[in-house]
Amino acid sequence: MDWRFFARVSCLLATGCSAVWAQGQPPPARAPEASLAPLRLATGELPPYATSTRPDQGIALEIVRRAFAYAGYEVQYTFKPWTRSLEEARAGHWDGTAYWGRNPQRDVGFLISDNVLTEQWVFVYRDNPAAKPFDWKELRDLRGLRVGAVPSYTYTPEFWRLHKEGVLNVALAGDDLANLRLLLAGRLDVVPMERNVACHLMGAHLVPAESAQLRAHPRWLTRQFTTHLMLSAQLPQSAARMRAFNQGLRILQGSHEYADLLHLPGCSLSARRR
């Protein structure tokens, strides 16, 4: 009998077995060190994807945890300011950090995983029924508008280039919530935000009357905003760990389990009909 038989039997006996194994895909190889101490990953607050306030510590962090679990690893997260998480992980003080968008400068010193999840970046604006709804097709259409941003965010290379060239009038704030409040106060015109992050902030920090004023344009800032686990290139174990993680991630993403993790309730953040 080969491993497929035992995988099917295990699926009947164990509630945590992925259906993918029963479809003919071999389980990932267990790393030699997987039974040792848990991997220590630094992270930051970006609910609902990464947060100490949820039992699962956020959707993205739970995906990373489950992908590693397929290879026998346990994961422990420590929450820090994002910049500190990045710098300390790069120096090898942590096994790695999760989760991050791609950035050529930031990626230096790390091994980068396959895509954990694709974020939905949109422009959020304050609705004004008396005015023409906000619309855009290319970033240069934002010329003349007051655009909010967070300096440590990735957005897109074109966004930061147009800001540097003076095409976009970008005002920097400490976080997304600060930008939402500036938007409501009329001090900004549009803010690029991840849609599910915006929905979370609206539900957690704004009153219904404030949330009702906000809209999101249906056009995404980019359809390729992938996010990743990053393991320190300083540590010799990182290459084997990354191979194990990517294999576990592929199995997870081929299962209903992954789709269930990404399912989020909607919010009132929708564009006004023209």
Same domain, 152 and 186: yes
Same domain, 64 and 133: no
Same domain, 112 and 247: yes
Does 97 reside within a domain?
yes
Q: Letter for the amino acid at 216? A: A
- Contact status, residue 53 vs residue 17, Cβ threshold 8 Å: no
Does 268 reside within a domain?
no
pLDDT tens-digit profile of 158-192? 999 999 999 999 999 999 999 999 999 999 999 99
Per-residue pLDDT, 30: 53
Tell me the CATH number at 148: 3.40.190.10
* Among 210, 219, 200, residue whose Cα is nearest residue 135: 219
Per-residue pLDDT, 84: 95
- Cα distance between residue 208 and residue 257, in whole Å: 33
Identify the domain containing residue 102 by its residue range: 36-118+226-262
Return phi, psi of residue 237, to 5°.
Answer: -80, -10
Same domain, 204 and 243: no
Whole-model pTM: value is 0.81
- Contact status, residue 191 vs residue 180, Cβ threshold 8 Å: yes
Residues of the chain under the 50 pLDDT cut: 1-24, 273-274
- Contact status, residue 75 vs residue 38, Cβ threshold 8 Å: yes
Per-residue pLDDT, 9: 35
Does 250 reside within a domain?
yes
